[in-house]
Structure formats: C-alpha cells, structure tokens
Amino acid sequence: MKKFAALLLTFVMAVSLAACAGNSEPAETSTPDAESSISAESTTPESSEAVSEPESELATDSQTEETESPADTDTESIGTNVLVAYFSATGTTEGVAENIAGGLDADLYEIVLEEPYTDADLDYHDDNSRSTIEMNDPSSRPAISGSVENMEQYSIVFIGYPIWWGEAPRIVSTFMENYDFSGKTIVPFCTSEGSGISSSVSNLEELTSGATWLDGQRLNGSDSLDTVMEWVNSLGLDFDA
C-alpha cells in the first residue's frame, strides 16, 4: 500500500513538472518575435519620412532656381544700347559700319533688300535702271528683308548709307519709317565720292519724330579704325548709358 502511494505521488509530481515545462516554452519563444514585429512596424514610417524630407528640400531648391532664372535671362538679354545699322550696295559703307560697331562693341545690322540689286539695277547712267527710277520717286519704299530685334533697347542708333543723287537710298527711308525712334539719338554717316551728307540727313529726319538727330559725317571707305573712332569719340555721347 505504501509502495502504491509512493508511486502515485511520484506520478503526480512528474505530471505537474511536465505541465509547468510545457507552459514556459511558448512564452519565451514568442516574446522576441513580437518585439521584432512591433519594432519593424514602428520604424517603417520614420524611415519613409527620413527619405521624403531631402526630396522635399530638393524640390524647394528647384522651384527657387526656376523663379530666379527669368531675372538672370532678362539681365543677359539687355545687351548693348548702341546699334549700327547700314545699307551698302557695293561694300564701301559696310566697312565703315563694321569699324564703328567694332570700336564701340555695338550691335551691327545690315539693311538688306528683299529683292537684291543687280549690276544693271545700279547703273546710274541708265535712266531706266531700278535705282534711278527709285531715286526719282520720293515716295518709293523698297521692301526690306528681316528686321531689328528689340529696337526699344537701343538709345543710340548710327545709320549709314552711300549717297545717291545727293540723297540716302530709298531703302533707308523704308528703314526709318519702320521703327519708332522716339527718345533715341540718331547719328547718320555716309560714304560718297564727294557729296556732303547734310541734305540727306534733313530728309530722313522728316520721317521720324521725337528723336535727336546729330549732324552726321561723310566718311571714306578707306578710313582706318583710328580715323573713324576719332570722329565717333568727338560726338560726346555716353555709350555706356
């Protein structure tokens, strides 16, 4: 009987120990997994925010650059305030115009006919040549190919041409009538074999309003850069304004 009681007591203790051992194992193994899962969930939003903040800063910088760039572009596009415009049928006036533009670092614009002259057109001995007919008609306005961009930016405009029949070629009249020269200073210059510039200037001046016209100068195609710039510098104009 005592043996049976001892065996029964041993069995009960063994079952109790087995039960305790079975309950403790799941608790130990589940705890780390649960913490790991919570840690992963809680760090994911923080990681996402950490990535998105630099992207937001970059977008802000980009918007700032885009806002500032038009101002920079406008500043660069202002350019020079001096324009040298010229018409040259044979290249003589062109050389003088290039000297002026080069000496002043000014913009250069060639007045080009929409329908270029031929050698026959320029035969002033022929009463029926195109140039002769045009010069005999004060209302003639030969068409120009192209135009001056941003004429409003120029405060000083040199206008050069050869002398034909004591006048500027009619295409120069076309040019003067195509733009608003109000508030600008106009400096005429011409090339010729001997004729002066005075009458051509007064006739061109009548085609504009609100501009200040200087007397102008007759120059030679063979004049050096120093000779041309000596006249330009004697005008007393502020070319840096």
pLDDT at 34: 33
> Is the pLDDT assigned to residue 18 strictly greater than 50?
no
Judge contact between 114 and 145, C-beta under 8 A: yes
pLDDT at 67: 35
How deeply is 201 buried, as exposed, middle or buried, from its count of CB atoms within 10 A (0-12, 13-18, 19+)? buried
Judge contact between 168 and 204, C-beta under 8 A: yes
> Is the pLDDT assigned to residue 181 strictly greater than 80?
yes
pLDDT, average across residues 217-239: 94
Please report, rounded to a whole number, the percentage of residues in the chain having pLDDT higher than 70: 67
3-class secondary structure, 82: strand
Q: How confident is the model at residue 236 (pLDDT cuts 50, 70, 90)?
A: very high
Distances (CA, A) of 12 to 5, 16, 20, 25, 142: 11, 6, 12, 21, 126
Q: How confident is the model at residue 153 (pLDDT cuts 50, 70, 90)?
A: very high
The residue to which tokens 């038009």 are assigned: 70
pLDDT at 195: 83
Share in percent of the chain as helix, strand, coil (round to 5): 50, 15, 35
Query: How much is the pTM?
Result: 0.67
pLDDT, average across residues 205-215: 96
Rounded to 10 degrees, the C-alpha dihedral 197/114/228/183 comes to 70
pLDDT at 186: 98
| Residue 212 β-bridge partners | 185
pLDDT, average across residues 198-202: 90
**What is the tens place of the pLDDT at every residue in 45-88?**
333 333 333 333 333 333 333 333 333 333 333 457 999 999 99
Please report, rounded to a whole number, the percentage of residues in the chain having pLDDT higher than 90: 62
Contacting residues for 122 by C-beta, under 8 A, at least 6 apart: 89, 90, 129, 130, 131
pLDDT, average across residues 223-228: 96
Structural tokens at position 240 = 């840096």
Picking from 93, 134, 140, the residue whose alpha carbon sits closest to that of residue 117 is 134
pLDDT at 9: 53
pLDDT, average across residues 148-166: 96
**What is the tens place of the pLDDT at every residue in 79-133?**
579 999 999 999 999 999 999 999 999 999 999 999 999 999 999 999 999 999 9
pLDDT at 196: 87
What's the mean per-residue pLDDT of the chain? Answer: 77
pLDDT at 21: 45
